[in-house]
Amino acid sequence: MSDFEQRLRSELEELKRQGLYRELREIESPQSTRIQFAGESLLNFSSNDYLGLANHPAVKAGAREALEQYGAGAGASRLICGSLAIFHKLEATIANFKQAEAALTFSTGYAAALGTIGALAGAGDILVLDRLAHACLVDAARLSGATLRVFRHNDLHDLERILKWSRRTSGKEGSKRVLVVTESVFSMDGDRAPLREIVELKEKYGAWLMLDEAHATGVHGPQGRGLAAEAGLADTIEVQMGTLGKALGAAGGYICGSRVLIELLINRARSVIFSTAPVPAAAGAALAALALVPTNLGDALRSTLRERVSQAAVISQPRGQSEARGDPLSAILPIMIGDERQAISLSAALRRAGFFIPAIRYPTVGRGRARLRLTVTAAHSEADIRVLSDSWRAIRQEITP
């Protein structure tokens, strides 16, 4: 074996030893509540397709129509070969949905984070991130060259301590920028940020706020507009981010805010400037989803989702705790396990019983903080959740009697 192969092999062996090895699991069906995996049908409780739109007839039709009208590929970056009308229509629709002045789309949410944080902050500026902020926000912060400070998860005192420090240092050296970055619903814990207090703090210390609503868009707030809209804070948040790939069932990321923000991003966001525009079909799917999400049909899906979430909440409760912990805060219901290898063996036991629920481990979450990430969607039936609940009780009994 060559040195190259040998080194990579030993790195993989080490991951296996620590229970951190990952592999792609090929499924033969579309993304849905039932997936076909190695010839078997499994009930899927792992996706972020919270409203069941990824395989919805209207959303698929939107993709097909865009493909027919605008072709398979976009040809180049939007700044090079012309920007297809469907992207402009999508951006106007997102801006209208989020009640913002303007929006810009990216090929993914990940690319939106990279392009935007890099455009707004650089060497000498300060980025203040929640400890549990998504990897794309962390990567973007590192890549930007700005000074990175992390506050304890949802801890307002810690955030204020850092903002005080930021004001002192930025005051000394003139016009440094301070950008706070957090999420409204956290992707692996399913809890929410104290938005009102965070907005108060960033105003008090003259910082800006970027809010990632990846897991709230389409799901929470009036007509699915997100938690900033629900709290009436959207106008006070400088940079609002989201993805088209979760509840909206398509693919792509977006930023919305003021017209001048969007104008700056068109000039500075490297993930837009130096990357081929997404396929028109993705924009068509997102447009179809956005036509549905704010309607009565969207409200009905959100109401079904809330019912399924309440029904499933008991599954994620620690053992011995039968009292409900109050209404769950999102459709993400992590079952905390701790040990990485135990999480894997529970995930495997669930798969043998007919359920697909991934074990989430480091570096997605902290070491020793492994969990089963259970997500429910509006497309699940009451019976789906009931059979999971029954099987889970038996599996847990068996493994940790």
Ligand X SMILES: *Cc1c(COP(=O)(O)O)cnc(C)c1O
Among residues 48, 184, 316, 347, the one annotated as catalytic is 48
User: Does the footprint of ligand X cover residue 105 (CB under 6 A)?
Assistant: no
Known catalytic residue at 23: no
Q: Report the amino acid identity of residue 213.
A: E
Determine, following the binding rule CB under 6 A, whether residue 212 of this chain makes contact with ligand X: yes
Among 60, 134, 361, 380, which residue interacts with ligand X (rule: CB under 6 A)?
134
Contact status: 154 vs ligand X (CB under 6 A): no
d(CA 291, CA 289): 5
Question: What distance in Å separates the CA atoms of residue 240 and residue 202, rounded to the nearest whole number?
Answer: 15
Say whether 153 is catalytic. Answer: no
Active site (annotated) includes residue 56: no
State the virtual CA torsion across 119, 123, 124, 130 in degrees, nearest 10. 70
In the bound complex, what is the minimum distance in angstroms from residue 191's beta carbon to ligand X? 12
Strands (E), 152-207: 178-183
Conformation bin of residue 63: beta by default, left when phi > 0, alpha when psi is -120 to 50: alpha
| Cβ neighbours for 29, distance < 8 A, ≥ 6 positions apart | 35, 36
103 DSSP β-pair partners: 256
Interface pick for ligand X out of 87, 97, 110, 254 (rule CB under 6 A) = 110
Q: Which residues contact 338 (CB under 8 A, 6 or more apart)?
A: 368, 369, 370
Q: Name the minimum Å distance from CB 133 to ligand X.
A: 8
In this structure, what are the phi and psi dihedrals at residue 255, rounded to the nearest 5 degrees? -125, 135
Q: Is there a catalytic annotation at residue 391?
A: no
Q: Which stretch binds ligand X (CB under 6 A): 106-114, 166-174, 232-240, 381-389?
A: 106-114
Does 155 qualify as catalytic in the annotation?
A: no
User: Which of 60, 98, 220, 246 is flagged as catalytic?
Assistant: 246
**Contact letters for ligand X, residues 225-244 (x by CB under 6 A):** ------------------x-
Residue 319 gets which letter from DSSP? T
CB of 330 to ligand X, least distance (A): 11
Following DSSP, what letter does each residue of 330-360 receive, concatenated? SSEEEEEEESHHHHHHHHHHHHHTTEE-PEE
Assess contact for 74 and 296: CB atoms under 8 A: no
Using the rule CB under 6 A, which residue among 214, 282, 287, 331 binds ligand X?
Answer: 214
Token pair for residue 312? 């499933």
**Measured at CB, which residue is nearest to ligand X?**
109
Is 134 an annotated catalytic residue?
A: yes
Give me the catalytic one of 107, 170, 184, 187: 187
Residue 249 touches ligand X, criterion: CB under 6 A = no
The correct pick among 47, 116, 147, 187 for binding ligand X (CB under 6 A) is 187
From the list 98, 134, 220, 380, the catalytic residue is 134
Give the whole-angstrom CA distance, residue 46 versus residue 198.
Answer: 30
Active site residue 139: no
Among 189, 212, 213, 340, the active-site one is: 212
Query: Residue from 95, 114, 136, 233 that binds ligand X (CB under 6 A)?
Result: 136
In 3D space, the residue among 247, 183, 282, 193 whose CA is nearest the CA of residue 375 turns out to be: 247
Contact between 375 and ligand X by CB under 6 A: the answer reads no
**Count of residues touching ligand X (by CB under 6 A):** 13
CB nearer ligand X, residue 44 or residue 170: 44
The runs of H, that is alpha helices, within 213-268 are 227-230, 259-268
Q: Which tokens is 187 given?
A: 């992707």
Residue 231, CA distances (Å) to 176, 194, 199, 213 in order: 29, 10, 11, 13
User: Which CB sits closer to ligand X, 139 or 158?
Assistant: 139
Question: Crossing angle, helix 109-120 and helix 135-144, to 10 degrees?
Answer: 30
Contact region for ligand X (CB under 6 A) — 107-115, 260-268, 271-279, 327-335? 107-115
The single residue among 109, 224, 226, 298 that binds ligand X, judged by CB under 6 A, is 109
Rounded to a whole number of angstroms, the minimum distance from the CB of residue 214 to ligand X is 3
Report residue 251 as tokens: 């693919």
Q: What is the set of active-site residues?
A: 48, 134, 183, 187, 212, 215, 246
Residues that bind ligand X (CB under 6 A): 108-110, 134, 136, 183, 187, 212, 214-215, 243, 245, 253
